[in-house]
Amino acid sequence: MAIKAPFQLLMLLGIVFLASSVCVSSRRSDQDQDQENPFLFKSNRVQTLFKNENGHIHLLQRFDKRSKIFENLQNYRLLEYNSKPHTIFLPQHNDADFILAVLSGKAILTVLNPNDRNSFNLERGDTIKLPAGTIAYLANRDDKEDLRVLDLAIPVNRPGQVQSFLLSGSENQESFLSGFSKNILEASFNADYEEIERVLLEEHQKEPQHRRDLRDRRRQQGQEANLIVKVSRDQIQELSKNAKSSSKKSASSESEPFNLGNRDPIYSNKFGNFFEITPEKNPQLQDLDILVNAVEIKEGSLLLPHYNSRATIIVTAVEGKGEFELVGHRNENQQEQREEDEEEEEEGQERSGQVQRYRARLSPGDVFVIPAGHPVAVSASSNLYLVGFGINAENNERNFLAGEEDNVISQIHRPVKELAFPGSAQQVDRLLKNQKQSYFANAQPQQREEESQRKRGHISSIYGGF
């Protein structure tokens, strides 16, 4: 990665903070990044559902098991699918609705219906809903690049639990067809069981016991061999026939993919771009009440402090490095303990909780959650690319707390500014007008940087200064 000149020092200094990059201001107790910051899910908080030489599937820890503050996320799971060039994820269906977002690479997704099938060419930014129960398969059609797909799963049976039904049997797994008895299969296919077994099912019965034991052990370790398999260039060619691409014009199809970048960004300047598809804009997202967004923050830039009025956003860091700061209450995380012990008292904490900063460095694969109402800001130490799924998305508004446009603070009546802030209304207005940028800004404005470097000496960096 080419680190641009003014940030080289930052990157070097950044190393200092790797060990304790979550922190609070000096008058608050320090917190261990991953243990104590419940809004952060480092990339190791995943479980490998499947892994072989062709790819893997990771499932993020349940939000509601991590912390009680995510009770409202109990029926949402985040998965990441990763596969090598010229491979295919074999047909299956799940008891969950999926929202797929392609993070990188090139795919062909085929979706089966009782009477037809639809194939779609997907690339970075393409997003599509896969309704629960849909049989689908996904090929990496590129010659070189890995395919990475992020999935938000919303289970329809048990809250927070996804079950997959694999159509294909193989050495290490059974097709769900093999769950039916011989008699049902013979009557269903109007054929002898021997033929059905030979053509559709693997013949596990003939395996010696020790091999089946081995298979069971492997399965428990997520090492099933044949869920993601190699596929030839010719076979890819055949899948590509009639495959449609995401519409370049509209993001409003009932079933076709839409690209997050096809519409104009809702916020954009030289420091970053913010793309977002809301339920109001796309019918696929309406019944699930989900929004999807993609945010590019340029190296050395800042997504200005803001909060979402009603949506909770699950954000995945896809590329680049940076830092987020989220403002909550002091006892947000410990509250759950108290709740069980002394329920009456707990209620008293609701308003009296002091303001608390939750801060963490971001690396690719990290996930963080921004609950509704909680102010947040994100800075990039190298070009940062984030993809977010928003829950409870309808009528969500993003209120910015700084910047020239859409700054909700500037709307306050003058006398209330006087009463609310220590400065005079005039001072407040002058301060608010100092920032000429909107939405995104320079994370370390030049003039002040120089000045502050003089003042503070060697630790001046966007991660330092506390």
Considering the complex, what minimum distance in angstroms separates the CB of residue 350 from a second copy? 6
Considering the complex, what minimum distance in angstroms separates the CB of residue 234 from a second copy? 8
Q: Which helix (H) or strand (E) holds 441?
A: strand 440-442
Dihedral angle sign, alpha carbons of residues 264, 266, 272, 277: negative
Considering the complex, what minimum distance in angstroms separates the CB of residue 224 from a second copy? 8
Alpha carbons 465 and 323: distance in angstroms, whole number: 14
Considering the complex, what minimum distance in angstroms separates the CB of residue 71 from a second copy? 5
Residue closer to a second copy, measured from CB, 262 or 409 = 409
Cβ neighbour number for residue 416 with a 10 Å cutoff:
10
Residue closer to a second copy, measured from CB, 32 or 195 = 195
Helix ranges restricted to H, 28-179: 33-36, 63-66
Considering the complex, what minimum distance in angstroms separates the CB of residue 122 from a second copy? 16
Counting runs of H as helices and runs of E as strands, what totals does the chain give? 12, 27
Residue closer to a second copy, measured from CB, 17 or 261 = 17
Q: Which helix (H) or strand (E) holds 128?
A: strand 126-130
The CA–CA distances, whole Å, from 343 to 65, 81, 331, 349, 353 equal 20, 41, 14, 10, 15
Considering the complex, what minimum distance in angstroms separates the CB of residue 38 from a second copy? 12
Cβ neighbour number for residue 230 with a 10 Å cutoff:
12
Secondary structure (DSSP) of 252-283: --SSS-EETTTSPPSEEETTEEEEEE-TTT-G
Dihedral angle sign, alpha carbons of residues 62, 63, 65, 71: negative
**What are the residues whose beta carbons fall under 8 Å from the beta carbon of 433, sequence distance 6 or more?**
404
Residue closer to a second copy, measured from CB, 104 or 110 = 110
Residue closer to a second copy, measured from CB, 114 or 264 = 114
Considering the complex, what minimum distance in angstroms separates the CB of residue 315 from a second copy? 16
Residue closer to a second copy, measured from CB, 79 or 124 = 79
Considering the complex, what minimum distance in angstroms separates the CB of residue 5 from a second copy? 18
Asked if 154 and 94 count as a contact pair (C-beta separation under 8 A), the reply is: no
Considering the complex, what minimum distance in angstroms separates the CB of residue 3 from a second copy? 19
Asked if 439 and 265 count as a contact pair (C-beta separation under 8 A), the reply is: no
Residue closer to a second copy, measured from CB, 104 or 174 = 174
Asked if 40 and 325 count as a contact pair (C-beta separation under 8 A), the reply is: no
**What are the residues whose beta carbons fall under 8 Å from the beta carbon of 222, sequence distance 6 or more?**
47, 48, 49, 50, 51, 56
Residue closer to a second copy, measured from CB, 124 or 227 = 227
Alpha carbons 142 and 94: distance in angstroms, whole number: 26
Alpha carbons 211 and 217: distance in angstroms, whole number: 10
